[in-house]
A and B are shown apart, each in its own frame.
Chain A
Amino acid sequence: MARRMGTTRRAAAALLVLAGGCAHFRVAPANVSPATLQEERRVRIAGWGVQEPLITPTNCEGQGMATVMITIRPRDTFIAIVTLGIVRPALIQWTCAKERNGGAR
């Protein structure tokens, strides 16, 4: 009986992890408009942070970013749990900013 309860709990926990929606974290400064489509890269931290990704966008033409969004999907969480945090994947998306007041006078 106890064993069955344990299995049920594990199944419920796995279901919660896998069925949950993605977690999004957004940064979007006010008064900055996007100039480009959203670019994205799938990245991961490896070895508890021994190696981590560095994204250097080449599509922003010298402008800053208009938006940055980090997404952690259920399977990313699953991988992080299974690997005890050795591997922590995420999706990073961004748009580039327009030139500020492009030529306004």
Chain B
Amino acid sequence: MTLSRRDLLKGIAATAALRMCGASWPINVLSAQEPSGRLWVNKHMNLSEQVWRHYDVWNHSPDGAMAAPGWRGGFTHLGSILNEAQAMGRRVRAVGARWSLSRWAVCPDVMINTMPLNYHAVGLAPDDLSISAFDPARIVFAQCGTSVRELSETLEARGLSLPTSGASNGQTICGAISTGTHGSARRVGSMQDFMLGLHMLAEDGKQYWIERASAPVVSAAFCQRLGATLVRDDLLFRAAVAGLGSFGIIHAVMFEAVPGFLLEVHRRRLDWPQVAHAAATLELDGLGLPYSDEPFHLDIAVNPYATKRGEGGAIVTAMYQRPLGPVPPRIVSDTAMVPGVDLLALSGKFANLAPRTIKRGVNAMFASMMKATERPPLGTHGQVFPTTALIGNSLSTEIGVDLANAGQALGTLIDVANRYAFPGLFGVRYVQRSDALLAFTKFQTTCTIEMTGAAGPRTENFYARAWAALDQARIPYTQHWGKINNTTAGNLRARWGSSVDQWITARQSLLSPAGRRLFSNDLLSRCGLQA
């Protein structure tokens, strides 16, 4: 057999490629990275940071042993990391599921991954409670890294439920409350609103149990077993519960679960002119919903490029609470086609290169979003708000406006999108006022308008134009802390008013200047909250 010139060339190319690859793709896999000095990236891939020390904190020791109670090992580990960082003059941020699109969890010094800290227990001994206003069987003690999914699973197995959550279930409980995560259960509020107590790890190894003086929950004996100082202070609690990770590390939270329920989900595609009045007033008569009573949950997806009659530019989702009962089994395949990891990044790049295609692309995507259902799906809270399969490079910003201004705000934003298209959609939800001092759901009924799109300069530029248009129209609004925002010291007080100074005062009452520096980052400084 003789080799042709072509085979010879292929052989040479293969040998060259093998050598070329040798340096960058060693056959023997590299040893595991040290648990420090690494590149941190958030879930939505819009943030990254080279971190001096990054720790994964587990409840068990490296040999697998776990101290009793199950949270003790992780708590001790958190304390030792804090002590070391404090001694070295470094700043510390605890990070949950990396869900946030803004830099609240980011700091170049020390970042602690709390996701493995998922101890959670349902039910307290009666002598752990200070008053009998709460049902001890429904009280939940959850470590910071416990995810919404884990909580739903555990509670639903006991006939209980979370009162509300975000639209998906991957956030950790402390990450969710710290930035004000909300759903659209209008009479329930945001996730921080059903919290009762916070186990806070602060500077110098101090630990506190913080709860409202007006709604005390735990007994002195409970705090003694925890090793924490009991602090009952309404203002401090309202500041720390949505504390942006800046009051210390919230090691665990306590809340009261609600009796389990099912949600009956109705979804209708309508024209935006049919929906606009309801979206601005919550007078739902024109939506043709199946029941006259107020839905437990209401959200509206809006395609800003299909706002005329006959274009089907709005999808209204109404959910009605039903008693807990058997749920029809779901047929689940173990293999499915889902949107690709690179889809959003490629869409963002394409939108930037060919902005004239954006409206057509969004219209096509929106038209395929809703599948007809023969009967309304029924499921538990955890089933209705499941894990999202969509991952990739996306961006999102969300504003909160008073319901009275919702119509004007939506009109303004739709107008901006039609003048400067971005590859994304609007999501409109309604949330009851939160009493957390810096909650972005601060209006009696806050209409939240989320603008989510593929990552890229086009989307970023759209956000800047949208905020500028709202400012120009003099529409008062707040911004979701966990999403892209332009909040600075210059506009913070205009948005949150006197709550800002109350928040700062509360933080000063808990932490010394050194402690305030320890639990700070650049974003806190940008917002003028570091004082």
Contacts and interface: CB of A to CB of B under 8 A. Distances in A.
Residue with the highest number of chain B CB atoms closer than 10 Å, among A36, A42, A98: A98
Interface in A16-72: 21-22, 24, 26, 28, 30-31, 33-39, 41-44, 46, 51, 53-59, 61-62, 69
Given A33-B149, A42-B24, A82 B118 contact: no
Contacts of A39: 32-33
B14 interface: yes
A79 B21 contact: yes
Given A35-B56, A54-B29, A69 B341 contact: yes
A44 B25 contact: yes
Nearest to A51: B27
A84 interface: yes
Interface string A68-105: 01000000000100111011010000000011011111
Is chain B's binding surface mostly helix, strand, loop or mixed? loop
B154 A104 contact: yes
Interface string B29-61: 111110100101100000000000010101110
Interface string B304-346: 0000000000000000000000000000100000001110001
A35 B116 contact: yes
Interface stretch (B120-128, B207-215, B496-504): B120-128
A82 B21 contact: no
B21 A61 contact: no
B122 A104 contact: yes
B64 A62 contact: yes
A42 to B, nearest CB: 5
Given A37-B113, A39-B33, A61 B60 contact: yes
A65 B147 CA distance: 17
B116 A36 contact: yes
A79 B121 contact: no
Contact of A33 (B33, B41, B60, B150): B150
Contacts of B58: 35, 61, 99
Contacts of A34: 97, 115
Contacts of A56: 29
Contact of A83 (B18, B25, B35): B18
Contacts of B62: 61
Contact of B59 (A55, A57, A102): A102
B109 interface: no
Contact of B13 (A26, A42, A54, A82): A82
A57 B32 contact: yes
Contact of B150 (A79, A82, A101): A101
B342 A22 contact: yes
A102 B29 contact: no
A21 B118 contact: no
A102 B33 CA distance: 26
A102 B27 CA distance: 37
B13 A83 contact: yes
A33 B147 contact: yes
B448 to A, nearest CB: 26
B387 interface: yes
A84 B395 CA distance: 40
A36 B10 contact: no
Interface of B: 10, 13-14, 17-18, 21, 24-25, 27, 29-33, 35, 38, 40-41, 54, 56, 58-60, 62, 64, 66, 69-71, 97-98, 113, 115-123, 143, 145-147, 149-150, 153-154, 170, 332, 340-342, 346, 387, 389
Interface of A: 21-22, 24, 26, 28, 30-31, 33-39, 41-44, 46, 51, 53-59, 61-62, 69, 79, 82-84, 86-87, 89, 98-99, 101-105
Given A37-B41, A102-B146, 6 more contacts: A21-B346, A57-B32, A83-B18, A103-B66, A103-B70, A105-B121
